[in-house]
Amino acid sequence: MCRVVDLRQAVLAKNDVAAQVLRAELTARGTTVVNLLSSPGSGKTALLERELLLARERGVAVAALTADLATENDAVRLARSGVPVKQVLTDGLCHLEAGMLGRHLDGWLPEDTRLLFVENVGNLVCPATYDLGESLRVVLASVTEGEDKPLKYPTAFGLAQLVVVTKTDIARAVEFDEAAFRAHVQQVNPGVEVVLTSARAGEGLGVLLDRALAAGAGAATHTPVMARQQQSHGHGHGHDHDHGPDHDHGHGPDHDHGHGPDHDHDHGHDHPHVQPAAQPR
């Protein structure tokens, strides 16, 4: 068990180094990275598509990279915005890593990109512990997921710099208790901002873009208590999340989770021009 924990800590430490390097490189060229985390089906892609369209209308040079275990469906949807989009297929890997992200950006990301939105794999467990070199970490949850989501996934919500609630247009129908959700968020991450949004109705549209631009301009971002605690223990991110050797991350049976950020386990696909798909909710 100790060897497994030690290996995991070594992997995370190596990822933190790669994230620091990537953050410095992108900051130097004027690019701000926004890391979006959520469960599958949260409405993350629908909201991001609206934000990308708005960024384009405002003349903001923006790009998006989206990661999934399989299919290029999200990239097809995001490409409708007309901004540069890249799909990364992880072949079963349940999260992105900083080295992996850096390789996919190399030679693809336009030099004038001001904002890069990274749509992480739909998963609130594994991605929560990996720094991607982002300047803003956002966790999204839909009104259909239950008010206790922050308590069930304390690392993901506890390290967020912004929490976004999606699909508020159906909040009344599913009896979403906003007060309870906010209380649970504050329990694991005191002081973090919670934003209500609806990609369909337009509620909260532009807030995510505004917060990302502000972060890129040097505005102070929320520093989670959990992040401060882990920094005091010598960890850059949420490295307190420990899996036993039999924990299933959603990989295939032969997948070795002990790889570092240089492990090339994914494929990238550019989508500069894609035919429109069905309108998301």
Residue 29 CB-density burial (10 A; 0-12 exposed, 13-18 middle, 19+ buried): exposed
pLDDT at 235: 53
pLDDT at 94: 87
Question: Is the predicted pLDDT of residue 157 greater than 90, yes or no?
Answer: yes
Q: Which of 141, 146, 187 is nearest to 167 (CA)?
A: 141
Which token pair is 205?
């549209």
pLDDT at 197: 98
pLDDT at 40: 94
pLDDT at 135: 97
Contacts of 248 (CB under 8 A, 6+ apart): none
DSSP secondary structure code for residue 281 in this structure: -
Q: Which of 39, 240, 218, 21 is nearest to 135 (CA)?
A: 218
pLDDT at 177: 98
**pLDDT for 213-272, tens place per residue?**
999 999 999 999 999 887 776 555 543 333 333 333 333 333 334 343 344 444 565 554
Residue 35: left (phi > 0), alpha (psi -120 to 50), or beta? beta
pLDDT at 93: 80
**pLDDT for 117-139, tens place per residue?**
999 999 999 999 999 999 999 99
The pLDDT-based confidence of 150 (bands split at 50, 70, 90) is very high
pLDDT at 232: 72
Q: Per-residue pLDDT averaged across 4-29, rounded?
A: 88
**pLDDT for 46-104, tens place per residue?**
999 999 999 999 999 999 999 998 889 999 999 999 999 999 998 778 889 999 999 99
CA distance 198 to 168: 5
Question: Is the predicted pLDDT of residue 11 greater than 70, yes or no?
Answer: yes
- Give the Å distances, CA to CA, from 134 to 6, 22, 36, 176: 25, 9, 10, 30
> Who has greater pLDDT, 144 or 2?
144
The pLDDT-based confidence of 19 (bands split at 50, 70, 90) is very high
Q: Per-residue pLDDT averaged across 20-46, rounded?
A: 97
**E-assigned strand segments in the chain:** 32-38, 62-68, 85-89, 115-119, 136-142, 162-166, 194-196, 267-270
The pLDDT-based confidence of 12 (bands split at 50, 70, 90) is confident
Residue 260 CB-density burial (10 A; 0-12 exposed, 13-18 middle, 19+ buried): middle
**pLDDT for 200-211, tens place per residue?**
999 999 999 999
